[in-house]
Structure 1
């Protein structure tokens, strides 16, 4: 009886493996990153080793009726230079130390025809908006046309559990619509404890958050419009964002444009934001990139920078960039990086 049970169990397990499809893919990158005046912080250096390892683990199965079910988890490890700031006197830190890899929250998907629904750790309708991110110069993509945007929309988390939301998209021909929903924790107050110099406490409230977008492609140009809103119950006005993007390709050149308006709950960032990006293939192997982003608020961040990508073949490329980050009227900070990236 036991032999029959074991044989049956093995047969069921084997059938399950045969019916499903599991794949692995991602990329690795490593190089040097420079940030002006970072070395002024104890334990930090202006120039550090930067790195990322990202592996996506995807599993899928399809019913006899053609409905596809799938799931993804991501394993990612980044260097810790950006987060390595001492919290108090006596803390020990080192600049540019390696980070350990860990799995993020799972995303589950169901697809049929032109309809797709994601649940769990999902990217929302604005995070999925065509041409929102545009061309991002640098090995670490540290310059973006979206720099002046501050609204906290539903986004995919590579290193955390995510927001446990839902995202749906329906596409027919050149037209697509999408919507997403989750419950967001919104910071409604920042309190500096008496006598403290670098510690703050925040108060947050949960609110319903939803985003929608529509996109249409005509010829070589895609136009997209999105709106997002977070309902902050009992904490003043709701937060929202409206954003328009355009993107197109003309031979060796492609460009994107972003413009929008937002209410963030903070006077110096509730305003208009805008940006552009471009990429130009100077040869079959080399591409130049550019991005600029800013906003009209005194607390908005401005990015401007150039980058280069040189394809070595086999999924391997050399990448680098140089640019400036500037917040409001403060002095700008120069940044640069260079290194290699390979896909697998």
Structure 2
């Protein structure tokens, strides 16, 4: 599964009490007493390689799997690969306050022609994320997203790439959903976690000056999780409320997602999974957004598997119907 290290608005109300000044004041006391006691830098990451098939594939510039004007057909079967290196620097003060900064280097097969010519992204460093934490309280600044970090965001992942989730908004490039590097001037996020509870608020401004305020709350106990997220934006079409419920009943795991956007679109999705043999997990996932573009419905459903080969290596694959087109993939992921 491909999960980013963190990625990947409106008039402030009393409920969305997450303006920049308030969040900074909330952590001033933590920083003021910090004397560094230890520090380290670590490297981690993964590689993946496989093949994907998409019926009626095209260069999807809007990342919505629906062909738009100017998007041309490509080869249906393509080799897909990615390498990601995550760089994390951490320090802990004598008071127990922790500090971290994180970025990543990533290169992909960026095929953009019908012949599937091997190309790579620049491999440049991504925008960094900074965190200060103390006993469950955390302040994060930069390339982070409260929406992505709320429980259940990426539940129901299929295949070796994570090509589908119970949440139809997850990792699909929808800049209206949460806070993304390419469309924001950075995020300020404050969270607190304790005994299964987690609450958070964040604020950000897009490059166009649109402010987005997000609040979330989740609770996990006895193997079950409930999470609620809400966004208030200067652009009313981006306002939404979402709900995630997940857990496990005997040997069957499940995830349910639903949201309501002020622009009139409602998202819904569900997933069930189970272990069918040692190291082998199978999942069935479906999701939809109740709007349509032309004659193509925004509906997806598929089945996927992951087989643990040990030592951080797994084999994954899946088949699906994605907005009326057949999709299939298979590949390996190795963590390091």
After TM superposition, is the score higher than 0.5? yes
Aligned to 1:25: 44
The offset of 1:312, in angstroms, is 0.8
Matched, 1:76 2:100: no
1:335 and 2:327 are equivalent in the alignment: yes
Q: Distance in 2 between the 1:151 and 1:59 partners?
A: 28
TM-score in terms of structure 1 length: 0.76
Cα distance in structure 1, aligned partners of 2:117 and 2:254: 34
Cα distance in structure 2, aligned partners of 1:21 and 1:250: 41
Gaps of 5+ in 2: 1-35, 60-70
Q: How does 1:84-99 map to 2 (within 5 A)?
A: 84=112, 94-99=115-120
CA shift digits 1:185-212 (9 cap, x unpaired): 4xxxxxxxxxxxxxxxxxxx42110111
Match of 1:190 in 2: none
Q: Which residue number in structure 1 is paired with residue 241 of structure 2?
A: 242
Residue in 2 that maps onto 1:181: 203
Once the two structures are superposed, the pairs formed by residues 144-155 of structure 1 within 5 Å of their partners are 144-147=165-168, 152-155=176-179
Give CA deviations for 1:43-90 in whole Å, capped at 9, x if unaligned.
Answer: 831111101111110010011100000000011111113xx26xxxxx
**Equivalent of 1:285 in 273, 279, 301:** 279
How far apart, in 2, do the equivalents of 1:286 and 1:251 lie?
17
RMSD: 2.4
Native 8 Å contact 1:254 1:280 kept in 2: yes
Q: 1:54 aligns with which of 84, 87, 95?
A: 84
Shift of 1:316: 0.7
Where in structure 1 are there 5+ consecutive unaligned residues?
1-16, 86-92, 186-204, 265-269, 327-331
SS across alignment from 1:211: strand
Q: Which of 208, 219, 242 is equivalent to 2:222?
A: 219
Tell me, yes or no, if the aligned pair for 1:277 and 1:292 is still in contact at 8 Å: yes
2:158 is aligned with 1:137: yes
CA distance in 1, matches of 2:43, 2:280: 28
| Separation of aligned partners in 2, 1:312 and 1:49 | 22
- Are the structure 2 counterparts of residues 52 and 222 from structure 1 closer, same or farther at C-alpha, using a change threshold of 3 Å? same
Q: Which residue pairs with 2:15 in the alignment? A: none
Alpha-carbon distance in structure 1 between the residues aligned to 2:213 and 2:127: 20
> Larger C-alpha radius of gyration, 1 or 2?
1
Instruction: State the SS of the aligned residue for 2:209.
Output: strand
Q: Distance in 2 between the 1:216 and 1:33 partners?
A: 37
Structure 1 residue 325 displacement after superposition: 1.2
- CA displacement, residues 129-178 of structure 1 (integer Å, 9 cap, x when unaligned): 21122121122211222226867133454xx6964111111012121101
Matched, 1:45 2:75: yes
Name the CA shift for 1:66/1:289 in 2 (closer, same or farther; >3 Å). Answer: same
Partner of 2:251: 252
- Relative distance call for 1:105 and 1:39 in structure 2 (3 A) is closer
Give the count of matched residue pairs: 283
Residue in structure 2 matched with residue 295 of structure 1 by the alignment: 289
Does the CA contact (< 8 Å) of 1:145 and 1:294 recur in 2?
no
Q: Is the 8 A contact 2:259 2:267 kept in 1?
A: yes
Highest RCO, 1 vs 2 (Cα 8 Å, sep ≥ 6): 2
